[in-house]
Structure 1
Amino acid sequence: MTLDFWVRTNGTWINAISIIAGTISGLLLKKHLPAKMQLIITQGVALITIFIGLQMAGSLTQVKNTRVDGIVLGLIAIAVGGVLGEWWKLEERLYSLGDFIKALFPGSDYFTDGFVASSLLFCVGPMALIGSFNNGLTGNNTILMLKATMDGISAIALSSSYGIGVGFSAIILLLYQGTVSLIAGLLIQVLPNPTNHPCLLLITGVGGLTILGLGLNLLAVTQIRVASLLPSLLIAPLLYLLTIK
């Protein structure tokens, strides 16, 4: 199965357009969007994030042909990945990257803060990685369409506070998600059945757990160091290869 450029990347283009549209809307509504409304928008995004995370995490129950249950593999992947993430100080490095990007854009602090905050929010996370991977691998853009909706709504709230810098994060998103989708397209010839391959189910399931963490963070229920869990996405398929029957 060979997918053309648009089919492999359409989710990313739609995602970028949603961010730009959300930014424009936020700028137009800036003086008419009270703090309480901004808060309820964020909470709505958080609830949808949790729902999507739970749905994706359910993929762990579909993992077959292993000597260890998929849920157990997900637990091990999260634990080992979290330890590696803390060892590599991914959370701290993420903030250092934000400071570095700020230094590249002298001028308005609000522009820079908006650009950095939105770039990290829209690009750093398993939904961007898994959604782009699925889009490039199978042409399925469902995850990225959901993400585009969430990002567009989030951009409204962010741009009302930070300004036009939020819209420029669409450039970073295009580069990141587009590259992942195109690389994933090369794997079609490697995986016999990319739609339900156990490795992808594990990645999706573990990614769902980290997305669930993002939702809880947005609700301020707790503060999970989600960036430290990102190595779990690499650990998961390795565990499958070690436990395959």
Structure 2
Amino acid sequence: MVLLGSIVNAAAIIFGSLLGLFIKRIPDRMKNLVTQSISLVIIVIGFTLAMKTNQVLIVVFSLSLGAVVGEWLDIESKLDKLGLFIESKFHSKSEGSISKGFVTSTLLFCVGAMAILGALDSGLRHNHEILYTKSMMDGFLSIILTSTLGIGVLFSAVPVLIYQGFIAIFASFVPNLVTQHLLSSIIAEISGTGGILLIALGLNSLGLIKIKIGNMLPSILFALIIVCFIQFFK
């Protein structure tokens, strides 16, 4: 089953998030320290991914175009409104926490080589080992994230399933259209672009800066488009 790995990954996030919701007795000072620790880890992961790029200009153009389109569409505002709407249904006391948890966890779970490689391996070879490993990591992280950022983390299971599921289905239908060289380039530049977003996300979480990460999300798509465009004209 092509989607098995993606389904298990989404289920692990949901299970971890539900478990995290029951961890209510953690003192605020401890939650703050855990949040800061996670933020630092996110920054380290971001730097690691950002260094994977082979063509810095692709990352620059992807981030620039993505920011322009994202600002024009005002994605951040729409995500906040969606979060507040869901929040009102759950009678959350902390305004904006759902949208913050949703964006933070979605970026963390979707960006990176494991998400891309795992989904591709599921589609090309029906081998789900990479996504099974990622599921264990995401499940553990979702426990910690939910206990600090709230129920918004749980809803990130939906874009994770759609994102990885789409890649897996695409890989299963058109394996002959993607060369190994193109595949490596796509993974490198998406990882590089996503790494920059994760660095910004970590700095935001530490309260050092305030960047509209949601408005920069189209950068990931532009990285894919630019790599394919360059490859087509070579």
Tell me the TM-score normalised to structure 2 length.
0.79
Shift of 1:82: 1.0
Q: Which one of 153, 156, 161 corresponds to residue 173 of structure 1?
A: 156
Shift of 1:146: 4.0
Shift of 1:4: 4.2
| 1:72-87 superposed matches below 5 A | 72-87=57-72
Q: Which one of 44, 60, 65 corresponds to residue 51 of structure 1?
A: 44
Q: Which amino acid is 1:239 matched to?
A: I
Alignment length, in residue pairs? 219
> Which 5+ residue runs of structure 2 have no aligned equivalent?
122-127
Matched, 1:149 2:136: no
User: What does the per-residue CA deviation read over 1:221-241, in whole Å, with 9 as the maximum and x for residues that have no partner?
Assistant: 111111111111111122223
Q: Which one of 163, 168, 186 corresponds to residue 185 of structure 1?
A: 168
Shift of 1:44: 0.7
* Percent identity between the two aligned chains: 19
Shift of 1:46: 0.4
Q: Which amino acid is 1:94 matched to?
A: L
Residues 78 and 99 from structure 1, CA distance in 2 versus in 1: closer, same or farther, beyond 3 angstroms? same
Tell me the TM-score normalised to structure 1 length.
0.76
Q: Which one of 210, 215, 228 corresponds to residue 197 of structure 2?
A: 210
Whether the 8 Å contact between 1:8 and 1:181 is mirrored in structure 2 is yes
RMSD: 2.9
Q: Determine the structure 1 residue equivalent to 2:124.
A: none
Whether the 8 Å contact between 2:67 and 2:215 is mirrored in structure 1 is yes
> Which 5+ residue runs of structure 1 have no aligned equivalent?
62-69, 160-165
Q: Which amino acid is 1:42 matched to?
A: T
Q: How far apart, CA to CA, are the structure 1 residues paired with 2:198 and 2:61?
A: 17
Residues 208 and 113 from structure 1, CA distance in 2 versus in 1: closer, same or farther, beyond 3 angstroms? closer
Q: Determine the structure 1 residue equivalent to 2:229.
A: 242
User: What does the per-residue CA deviation read over 1:10-61, in whole Å, with 9 as the maximum and x for residues that have no partner?
Assistant: 332222222222222x23xx2xx32221110001100110111111112203
Q: Which amino acid is 1:56 matched to?
A: L
